[in-house]
């Protein structure tokens, strides 16, 4: 028995933010029914294609464990089928451009009327306000949610990060809202509207930078090794910006990822200085306390880097970890793909796809002891259309054939089943 077994999700998501959410719910055991436009499907099936005529990794890595039905929801028979799906499912998740579901004829009020227990969950770029009607992609959210202005070096431009905090981050927030709404429904008996704006999701993840913005009113942020005599939270390179200073220092090898991120907790200073051959700095009042070191963090990390340059990043990590010093090598995606520990825990999984063959994906990042997430292949476009109509909606074969004839399920318009 899985955590969300028995829960049916009507999945109207596409691209990344929504699919991240419904994939997580599928791994938790929900039956995720992905509704796709006949003949086209989720646009990402055909984006960033690496193998001709095969669903892209973009799609396969975000849609595992789901079922796919093709349905034209603007066709009259398609609308009737959609109504039956709404009545049969527990959650509807969508991340269309603002107003798209309303234009289809299914505003929240109608959905509630059709199924008062329905949880209707949406991702949009912005919440109510001047930008609520805007279409939004990942980097727009990173820029408007405060992440880009605080990422990068202080003498360079704002930067976006490779972690998809706008898309996948908001999908994660939405999944959390859906699970809470499902829990509340147990006692209330009612569904509810769950909305996650990408700007809000990014800001939630960048909240420490809003903390710093307010601290600026009381003086410079001394833990950042950049000029903080400014009135906006600055970009501070690789500085941790937290209570414990940190920096990415170079290691042996000289490659683009031969770096280790090191943190100087107060008890670690003495060990660092022994390793670096500078024992005289352990008790020197100019260096021995966190407050004394703050104005010269650059110099502290330069001293540490002289030592790390004599070790590979893995050697440095082993030596520092043996003394409980928090640190971490900068790992490339190539290294992560080969990391045995991540394979062992199911965080990196090899999946077999019917037309692609084997590929790697990221599995469930949260481990539940009683609800194991087994990653299965993503569905082919419309792979489960008939199965869903017959088993979930209880349509007769005659009704399914009529639906094919109407064009609601796509081409061939007159496909018949026995």
Return the residue of 10, 16, 89, 174 that touches ligand CAO, per CB under 6 A. 16
Q: Measure the CA–CA gap between 242 and 260, rounded to whole angstroms.
A: 18
b/e string for 142-176 if b means 16 or more Cβ within 10 A?
A: bbbbbbbbbbbeeeeeeebeeebbbbbbbbbbbbe
> Cis bond leading into 350, ω under 30°?
no
Told to check if 97 binds ligand CAO by CB under 6 A, we report yes
Distance in angstroms (rounded) separating the CA atoms of residues 166 and 172: 10
User: In the window 291-320, what residues touch ligand CAO (CB under 6 A)?
Assistant: none
**Number of chain positions touching ligand CAO (CB under 6 A):** 25
CB of 10 or CB of 273, closer to ligand CAO? 10
138 binds ligand CAO per the rule CB under 6 A = yes
Instruction: By CB under 6 A, tell whether 11 contacts ligand CAO.
Output: no
Judging by DSSP bridges, how do beta strands 357-362 and 348-353 pair with one another?
antiparallel
CB of 227 to ligand CAO, least distance (A): 35
Instruction: Give yes or no for residue 96 binding ligand CAO (CB under 6 A).
Output: yes
Q: Which is nearer to ligand CAO, 236 or 409 (CB)?
A: 409
Longest dimension (CA), the chain: 87
Q: Give residue 328's region: left, alpha or beta (phi > 0; psi -120 to 50).
A: beta
CB of 119 to ligand CAO, least distance (A): 18
Angle of helix 198-205 relative to helix 167-188, nearest 10 degrees? 100
Report how far apart, in Å, the C-alpha atoms of 231 and of each of 154, 203, 221, 222 are: 13, 19, 11, 14
- Our finding on whether 336 is near ligand CAO (CB under 6 A) is no
Task: Work out whether 373 is an interface residue with ligand CAO (CB under 6 A).
Answer: no
The answer to whether 1 and 76 have CB atoms below 8 angstroms apart is: no
Please report where in the chains the tokens 């099936």 appear, as a residue.
45
Out of 102, 167, 284, 370, pick the active-site residue.
167
**The binder of ligand CAO chosen from 73, 77, 149, 308 (CB under 6 A):** 73
The 3-state DSSP class for residue 298 equals helix
Residue 167 among the catalytic residues: yes
- Compare residues 69 and 248 and give the one whose CB is closer to ligand CAO: 69
Cβ closest to ligand CAO, residue 90 vs residue 167: 167
Q: Which stretch binds ligand CAO (CB under 6 A): 70-78, 242-250, 296-304, 395-403?
A: 70-78
Q: Which of 83, 104, 263, 282 binds ligand CAO (CB under 6 A)?
A: 104
Report whether 389 contacts 403 (CB < 8 A): yes
Question: Which range touches ligand CAO (CB under 6 A), out of 69-77, 105-113, 175-183, 224-232?
Answer: 69-77
3-state secondary structure of 215: helix
Measured between alpha carbons, how far is 24 from 16 in angstroms, rounded to an integer? 12
Minimum Å gap between C-beta 396 and ligand CAO is: 23
Candidates 52-60, 135-143, 209-217, 372-380: pick the segment binding ligand CAO (CB under 6 A): 135-143
Q: C-beta of 15: minimal distance to ligand CAO in Å?
A: 3
Residue keyed to tokens 């209570």? 243
Across 217-338, the runs of DSSP E, i.e. the strands, are: 246-250, 259-263, 327-329
Total Cβ atoms within 10 A of residue 10: 26
**CB-wise, 137 or 359, nearer to ligand CAO?**
137
Q: Does 51 bind ligand CAO (CB under 6 A)?
A: no
Nearer to ligand CAO, 76 or 232 (CB): 76
Question: Residues 94, 99, 105, 108: what is their CA dihedral angle, to the nearest 10 degrees?
Answer: 60
CA pair distance 408, 188, nearest whole angstrom: 36
Could you say which of 22, 68, 95, 192 contacts ligand CAO (CB under 6 A)?
A: 95
Q: Per rule CB under 6 A, is residue 94 in the interface with ligand CAO?
A: no
Among the listed residues 11, 42, 55, 72, the single contact to ligand CAO using CB under 6 A? 72
User: With respect to ligand CAO, which residue has the nearer C-beta, 230 or 413?
Assistant: 413
Give the span between the Cα atoms of 125 and 197, in whole angstroms: 5
* From candidates 39, 50, 74, 354, binder to ligand CAO by CB under 6 A: 74
Between the CA atoms of 208, 94, 16 and 41, what dihedral angle is there, to the nearest 10 degrees?
Answer: -170
Least distance in Å: CB of 165 to ligand CAO?
Answer: 12
- Binding residues for ligand CAO restricted to 256-275, rule: CB under 6 A: none
Cβ closer to ligand CAO: 228 or 361?
Answer: 361
Active site residues: 167
The binding site for ligand CAO (CB under 6 A) comprises 15-18, 35, 37, 43, 71-74, 95-97, 100, 103-104, 123-125, 135-138, 167
């Amino acid at each position: 028995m899985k955590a969300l077994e028995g829960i049916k999700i009507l999945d109207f998501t596409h691209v990344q933010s929504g699919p991240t959410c419904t994939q997580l719910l599928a791994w938790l055991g929900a039956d995720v029914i992905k509704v796709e436009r006949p003949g086209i499907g989720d646009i990402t099936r055909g984006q960033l294609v690496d193998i001709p005529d095969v669903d892209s990794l973009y799609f396969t890595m975000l849609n595992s464990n789901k079922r796919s039905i093709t349905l034209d929801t603007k066709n009259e028979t398609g609308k009737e089928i959609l109504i039956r799906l709404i009545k049969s499912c527990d959650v509807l998740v969508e991340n269309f451009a603002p107003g798209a579901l309303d234009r289809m004829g299914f505003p929240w009020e109608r959905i509630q009327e059709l199924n008062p227990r329905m949880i209707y969950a949406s991702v949009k770029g912005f919440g109510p306000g001047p930008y609520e009607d805007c279409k939004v992609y990942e980097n727009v959210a990173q820029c408007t949610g405060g992440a880009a202005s605080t990422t990068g070096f202080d003498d360079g431009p704002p930067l976006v990060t490779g972690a998809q905090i706008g898309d996948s981050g908001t999908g994660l927030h939405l999944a959390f809202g859906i699970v809470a709404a499902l829990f509340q429904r147990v006692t209330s008996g009612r569904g509810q509207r769950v909305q996650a704006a990408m700007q809000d999701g990014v800001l939630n993840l960048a909240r420490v930078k809003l903390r710093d913005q307010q601290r600026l009113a009381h003086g410079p942020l001394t833990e950042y090794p950049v000029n903080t005599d400014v009135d906006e939270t600055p970009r501070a390179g690789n500085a941790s910006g937290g209570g414990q200073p940190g920096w990415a220092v170079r290691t042996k090898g000289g490659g683009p990822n031969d770096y280790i991120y090191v943190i100087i907790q107060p008890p670690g200073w003495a060990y660092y200085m022994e390793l670096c051959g500078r024992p005289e700095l352990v008790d020197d009042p100019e260096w021995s306390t966190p407050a004394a070191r703050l104005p010269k963090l650059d110099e502290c990390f330069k001293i540490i880097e002289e030592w790390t340059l004599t070790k590979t990043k893995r050697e440095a990590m082993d030596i520092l970890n043996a003394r409980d010093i928090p640190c971490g090598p900068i790992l490339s995606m190539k290294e992560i793909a080969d990391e045995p520990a991540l394979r062992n825990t199911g965080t990196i999984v090899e999946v077999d796809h019917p037309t692609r063959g084997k590929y790697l994906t990221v599995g469930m990042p949260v481990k539940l002891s009683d609800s194991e997430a087994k990653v299965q292949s993503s569905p082919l476009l419309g792979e489960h259309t008939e199965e869903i109509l017959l088993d979930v909606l209880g349509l007769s074969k005659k009704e399914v054939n009529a639906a094919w004839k109407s064009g609601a399920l796509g081409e061939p318009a007159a496909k018949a089943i026995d």
